[in-house]
Structure 1
């Protein structure tokens, strides 16, 4: 029997932590699918044509050194003869989508503590951001925070809004063609970011690179409706996260429900994938296992599984938008 066309659509995924794994885990191997769901063979098997590689840092002393290791790892992957290739222009993105057995990649910054620690001068942070751009070619998006608060504002586990430094970083991003990511903001910070962009008339795209919908599963990492609607209004992206903790702790089909909820609430041109694959074998909190449902645990099969499940529910155009077209159009628009 022939497989539905949906199963072999190109895929663009907006978030993974492969750079953290390769930089930080002893014996890390980009071909070890058993270690991380976005290992290079899984990306190829899953027909992933662009994978956004997060440069993640915790908010602590040494965060900028940690980010620099990942910056240099991206460059090392770029210079190596392997299945990954850097994408830094709309033309290169189009080429990556059409090229067989290759995955394009571009970096993003997950937590601005990776460019500026708590005690640094803000100007040093701007210089580190420029160094990442110089080394990696592009930065697709940046999040001000991670789970906790930092000098820029409040993360998911906080109620704090934006700070003076957060506003200054937004001002710096004006017109730079780098999106601001809402996936790790407190609700208060998300609102403050949007208000500052509007008040100062800043040219900054907004996205949620790896977040689901809070009405489907109530978790602070998932988007409340008001933020969802702002991202849609501003022609941003919302990347569906595959982590069980953010999908539903008992129902793997809830990921399908998140996608359908987004489509039913105006996100047809915004919804995409942001699987959030990372290395977790050293996790000490056993209550977090399994991190992913088996259906969603690695890129080689998860996207095709989801598209197959949705094949009878969505139109071919909706499937294409989810798989890659929404992300492609967004990236081409902000890079042009």
Structure 2
């Protein structure tokens, strides 16, 4: 059986923002993990492209808009790439054998507290949003912020507006306090696009068992990530270490809430055997030794696709 892939996080756009000469279409790039050719080889049906602005760049809308311009000019210009703004777009891309491309904003600092900017990004196709990266901004505290605060008043307003528009919320970089405040504030289920299980690898970017259970209860999604230091503290990390996180989420009841969030192109080291989408087959082969075909397909793409069909705008 050939398994398709849906991946909820990569940082191709951030690399392009730093170096506009990078070519998404280069077949075997040593500058990108995720390329057009590798997505085709991986049987990808969905790839989320994060808008992440490196900390050394200016804060504001300009680099965000530049990232979106790069997405339209250098990613969507390939024939099998299809922008996904709605459940209908996703249905069409699946029917036509295309690769759905979802835009996500990683950290809202650049919106400068202005919800008009949020609406502009929605018009341009952004459909997922992480309130923070690792540090604090006007909406919330990131997971590495020393004070470990939660959502601000303006952050709560942002959450309500995202719910109303149909922008998916992402907790992968949010503090524990912010996570639980979002549970109370959001009327829609949310995702952790690229986080693992903290009880398997004790890193603050990973989810506690209580958080995993909460996401399962709301029928949100947990994107198992390939960041080596979120997978296993002793390095190098290997694919069997990734499986331990899969097994743990399943043991907590999350077989239908588990998906993939590689973080390709956001890391400078890789899990052995998982350095780009063309190697995802190695993970699939490992999963096949432990799970039946139905579950492997659920993990690799069906759970993610089902969530988007249910929660994206119609």
Q: Is the structural similarity TM-score above 0.5?
A: yes
Tell me: CA distance 1:34–1:332, structure 2 relative to 1, closer, same or farther (3 Å): same
Q: Find the counterpart in structure 2 of residue 135 from structure 1.
A: 124
RMSD over aligned Cα atoms:
1.9
Q: Find the counterpart in structure 2 of residue 265 from structure 1.
A: 252
CA displacement at 1:114 relative to structure 2: 2.9
Which of the residues 166, 169, 174 maps onto 2:158?
A: 169
Say if 2:224 is the partner of 1:240. Answer: yes
1:216-237 residue CA offsets vs partner (Å, 9 max, x unmatched): 1000110011111111111101
> Could you tell me whether the CA contact under 8 Å between 1:36 and 1:279 is conserved in 2?
no
1:116-170 residue CA offsets vs partner (Å, 9 max, x unmatched): 2xxxxx3xx312222222223xx33211110111111111102111111111111
Say if 2:37 is the partner of 1:41. Answer: yes
Give the Cα separation in 2 of the matches to 1:149 and 1:279: 20
Q: Find the counterpart in structure 2 of residue 80 from structure 1.
A: 77
CA displacement at 1:58 relative to structure 2: 4.7
Q: Find the counterpart in structure 2 of residue 144 from structure 1.
A: 131
Give the Cα separation in 1 of the matches to 2:137 and 2:59: 14
Structure 1: gaps of 5 or more residues: 117-121, 198-202, 281-288
SS in 2 for 1:185: coil
Relative to structure 2, which stretch is displaced further, 245-254 or 80-89? Answer: 80-89
Q: Which portions of structure 1, spanning 4 or more consecutive aligned residues, are displaced by more than 6 angstroms?
A: none
Q: Find the counterpart in structure 2 of residue 12 from structure 1.
A: 6
Mapping 1:182-331, distance limit 5 Å: 182-197=171-186, 203-249=187-233, 250=235, 251-252=237-238, 253-278=240-265, 291-302=269-280, 304-331=281-308
Give the Cα separation in 2 of the matches to 1:94 and 1:170: 27
SS in 2 for 1:57: coil
Which of the residues 16, 24, 29 maps onto 1:22?
A: 16
Give the Cα separation in 1 of the matches to 2:190 and 2:181: 13
CA displacement at 1:260 relative to structure 2: 1.0
Give the Cα separation in 2 of the matches to 1:279 and 1:208: 16
Give the Cα separation in 2 of the matches to 1:163 and 1:88: 28
Give the Cα separation in 2 of the matches to 1:79 and 1:268: 32
Relative to structure 2, which stretch is displaced further, 169-178 or 72-81? Answer: 72-81
Give the Cα separation in 1 of the matches to 2:266 and 2:157: 33
Say if 2:102 is the partner of 1:106. Answer: yes
Relative to structure 2, which stretch is displaced further, 83-92 or 324-333? Answer: 83-92
Mapping 1:111-130, distance limit 5 Å: 111-116=107-112, 122=113, 125-130=114-119
Give the Cα separation in 1 of the matches to 2:266 and 2:209: 30
CA displacement at 1:334 relative to structure 2: 0.9
CA displacement at 1:192 relative to structure 2: 1.5
Give the Cα separation in 2 of the matches to 1:153 and 1:114: 13
CA displacement at 1:195 relative to structure 2: 2.2
Give the Cα separation in 2 of the matches to 1:166 and 1:294: 38
SS in 2 for 1:296: coil
TM-score, normalised relative to structure 1: 0.85
CA displacement at 1:206 relative to structure 2: 0.9
Structure 2: gaps of 5 or more residues: none
